[in-house]
Amino acid sequence: MNLTKPLLSSKRILIVGLGNPSPAYDLTRHNVGNWLLDQLVSRRWNGFTQFKKDRRYRHFEISQTSAPEYSHLVLAKSVNTYMNIQGPAVKQLWTSFKKEKNDDPTLMIIHDEIEIGLGKVQLRKGSTSARGHNGLRSISTQLDPTYTKMGLGIDKPDKLSNIKVLDYVLSKFYRNELDVLESVTLEQASKLIEEVAKGLHSK
Spell out the domain ranges in the chain.
13-201
Residue 70 has pLDDT above 80, yes or no: no
For domain 13-201, the CATH architecture is: 3-Layer(aba) Sandwich (3.40)
Residue 46: the pLDDT is 80
More confident residue, 11 or 171: 171
Q: Over range 72-85, report the average pLDDT.
A: 95
More confident residue, 105 or 67: 105
State the catalytic residue, choosing from 30, 72, 111, 133: 30
Q: Over range 107-114, report the average pLDDT.
A: 98
Residue 200: the pLDDT is 61
**The whole model's pTM is what?**
0.90
Cα distance between residue 16 and residue 69, in whole Å: 20
Residue 194: the pLDDT is 84
Of the candidates 187, 175, 171, 142, the residue with the CA atom closest to the CA atom of residue 30 = 171
In our burial notation (b when 16+ CB lie closer than 10 A, e otherwise), range 161-198 reads eeeeeeebbeeebeeebeebbeeebbebbbeebbebbe
Please, what is the average pLDDT of the chain?
A: 90
Radius of gyration of the chain (CA): 16
Cα distance between residue 134 and residue 84, in whole Å: 5
30 is an active site residue: yes
More confident residue, 132 or 45: 132
Q: Are strands 57-64 and 106-113 parallel, antiparallel or unpaired?
A: unpaired
148 phi, psi to nearest 5 deg: -110, 140
pLDDT tens-digit readout, 150-203: 999 999 998 778 899 999 999 999 999 999 999 999 999 999 998 887 776 444
Residue 119: the pLDDT is 97
Cα distance between residue 153 and residue 145, in whole Å: 22
Q: Over range 14-32, report the average pLDDT.
A: 97
